[in-house]
Amino acid sequence: MKANKMKVLFLTLVLGLVCSCQESPAEADHSKISGEWITHYIASSNTEKTSENGPFNVYLRSIKFNDEGDSLVFHFFLKADGKCIESSVKGRKIGDNVYTADYAGANQFHFILESDDGLIVNSENVDETGKTTRLVGLLGKDDDADDHDLKRFKEEVRKLGIPEENIVDFTKGDGCQAQ
């Protein structure tokens, strides 16, 4: 009887350790994320979404959270037929580091803060036809991506099974200036 109690206790300890080691997105510090950002790279499981004139071929300018950190606004430009179109999308917090926004369908996303000037956004989009697309974006404060952040971004892309050839490079400039 004592041996069975020890086995149950040991099993409980092992299960507790396994559960505590499961990776879950850490809560993002909205005060570090809120501010000016530019798009460096976006990878997508569906290249139509990130191709020229695609809804996720976006040139981000800023992410602004409200004081409570439970809602945010993305400010960006799209290029359609060579013209820059200014736009913004509102999102809201629905869980620990989980946000939702309506844009080209329903989106659920979370932030991975890599450095003071690099941010990775992991997103799932379900468009109006019900098609699901996985997206990963690397954002930065400067024109060039930090090597460490780029390496971490590519790890995230591989983790989601997105081919590296599906990465779009936005670091060459977009020609869209704030009005």
**Cα(87)–Cα(173) distance, integer angstroms:** 18
Share of the chain above pLDDT 70, in %: 82
* CATH number assigned to the domain comprising residue 70: 2.40.128.20
Angle, alpha carbons 101-144-93 (nearest 5°): 20
Mean pLDDT of 84-89: 94
Examine residue 113 and state whether it is found in any structural domain, yes or no. yes
- The answer to whether the beta carbons of residues 127 and 104 sit under 8 Å apart is yes
Tell whether the model's pLDDT for residue 66 goes beyond 70: yes
- The answer to whether the beta carbons of residues 161 and 135 sit under 8 Å apart is no
Strand partners, 114: none
Tell whether the model's pLDDT for residue 29 goes beyond 70: yes
Indicate the range of 105-109, 143-147, 171-175 predicted with least confidence.
171-175
**Cα(70)–Cα(23) distance, integer angstroms:** 23
Q: How high is the pLDDT of residue 140? A: 95
Examine residue 13 and state whether it is found in any structural domain, yes or no. no
Tell whether the model's pLDDT for residue 11 goes beyond 50: no
**Of 9 and 50, more confident:** 50
Q: What is the pLDDT of residues 127-142, one digit of tens each?
A: 999 999 999 999 999 8
Q: How high is the pLDDT of residue 14? A: 36
pLDDT band of residue 81 (cuts 50, 70, 90) is confident
Q: Which residues of 131-157 are buried (b: 16+ CB within 10 A; e: fewer)?
A: eebbbbbbbbeeeebbeebbebbbebb
Q: How high is the pLDDT of residue 79? A: 84
Domains held by the chain: number = 1
Q: How high is the pLDDT of residue 80? A: 81
Examine residue 73 and state whether it is found in any structural domain, yes or no. yes
Tell whether the model's pLDDT for residue 3 goes beyond 70: no
Examine residue 19 and state whether it is found in any structural domain, yes or no. no
Examine residue 43 and state whether it is found in any structural domain, yes or no. yes
Examine residue 12 and state whether it is found in any structural domain, yes or no. no
- Structural domain boundaries enclosing 147: 30-169
Examine residue 47 and state whether it is found in any structural domain, yes or no. yes
Indicate the range of 27-36, 86-95, 157-166 predicted with least confidence.
27-36
Q: What's the predicted TM-score (pTM) here? A: 0.82
Name the one residue in this structure whose structure tokens are 């099993």.
11
Examine residue 177 and state whether it is found in any structural domain, yes or no. no
Q: How high is the pLDDT of residue 7? A: 37
